Structure 1
Amino acid sequence: MSCDEAMLIRKLFRFENAHIVRGCSTRRCSHSIHGHSYKIELLLEAHSLDHGQMVYDFGLLKGGAFTLIDAFDHAVTLWTGDDPAYLAAMRQHSERWVLIPVSPSAEQFSRLFFLLVDAVLATTALRNGEGDVRLHSVIVHETETGYAQCFREDAENPRMGRIDLESIVFAPAITAQWSDPALFERLKRARAD
């Protein structure tokens, strides 16, 4: 290992979510709403340790990062490009939904969560001597046998579809349960600056 390589740490989150992935080759997935037990791995990296001799205190992820990932639990994720009648029906009949600008595939979820968590990390006050800690990658396990991993280059790659925080909408029933209802608005403002 050279001195240039960073140490990695991993934090795992879980949630249950439903979606339709339009345009995929499997008819069951592209024409029927279905759900998955997702596992989200956040991998953080740094070249130095904080005063507690850690890359990053996992407790700091219990705020914004957990809140945003948990927003997808027991929700249906909707793609803005889907049929307007379907979108309206799902929003009418489901209290928990999230509207996103890309299809809710594991690949796009990994990009979406990368951008969300990266925004949280950028706005988190570091007070314990944390060094150059940053998000290394996000892995989204959609099934026990398949996952997608997103790196910074993927998250920001316009050829994979543009994801702006402004284009993500959380159902009012979701944001009403947040301990900090202004969390997402604050992240959007910080990202725009």
Structure 2
Amino acid sequence: MPYRISKIFEIENGHILSKHPDNCRFPHGHSRMVEIVLAADSLDSNDMVCDFKAIKESLGAFLESWDHALCLNTADPNFGFYQKTYGSRIIPFEKTDPTSERMAKAIFDEVRARLAEASAAKGARYPVASGVRVERVRVTETSSTWAEYSE
């Protein structure tokens, strides 16, 4: 049975679901919680999966870029307008609507890539052992709804 740790980040984030038949096709936002669960079969030399600070340092800037940003389908007819108007505050989703499910997958992929970088880094103040893996990412949309991605 693996050891698990979890870190939750809070972001304010908007999206437009261009294929939605109702109000979600209009710009709207959510106070989201992004929960990242890491696992390892053994503990590191500090008796941890990894230091929580390593998660924050590895992912803080990435998730900060999602805070007060608008996630948008690149196929949305208004994508060009939004990107020109809001620039880096647009998080593009390539020809797919940025549902909470898609967000969880995108964040999962980014966490996995950043974990690989962190475990390859030499001399890091908060090292990440090579056996640490992303178990799942959960993204809340409301206080009673969430979507999750794992492999």
TM-score (norm 1): 0.70
Partner of 1:14: 10
1:141-160 matches, cutoff 5 A: 141-152=140-151
Structure of higher RCO (CA pairs closer than 8 Å, 6+ residues apart): 2
| Cα deviation code 1:74-124 (max 9, x no counterpart) | 1111111211xx112212322421112131100000000000110000111
Extract unaligned runs of 5+ from structure 1.
153-193
Partner of 1:113: 107
CA RMSD of aligned residues (A): 1.7
Displacement after TM superposition at 1:35 (Å): 0.4
Which letter maps to 2:47?
Q
Which letter maps to 1:41?
E
| C-alpha distance in 2 between matches for 1:61 and 1:49 | 16
Extract unaligned runs of 5+ from structure 2.
none
Check the 8 A contact 1:121/1:134 in 2, yes or no.
yes
Check the 8 A contact 1:43/1:135 in 2, yes or no.
yes
Check the 8 A contact 2:116/2:130 in 1, yes or no.
no
How many residues are paired up? 144
Check the 8 A contact 2:33/2:139 in 1, yes or no.
yes
Q: Structure 1 residues 129, 115: CA separation in 2 closer, same or farther (over 3 Å shift)? A: closer
Partner of 2:52: 58
Displacement after TM superposition at 1:131 (Å): 5.5
- Per the alignment, in what secondary structure is the counterpart of residue 63 of structure 2? helix
1:81-100 matches, cutoff 5 A: 81-83=75-77, 86-95=78-87, 96-100=89-93
Displacement after TM superposition at 1:8 (Å): 1.0
% of aligned pairs identical? 31
Partner of 1:73: 67
Partner of 1:24: 20
Check the 8 A contact 2:49/2:132 in 1, yes or no.
yes
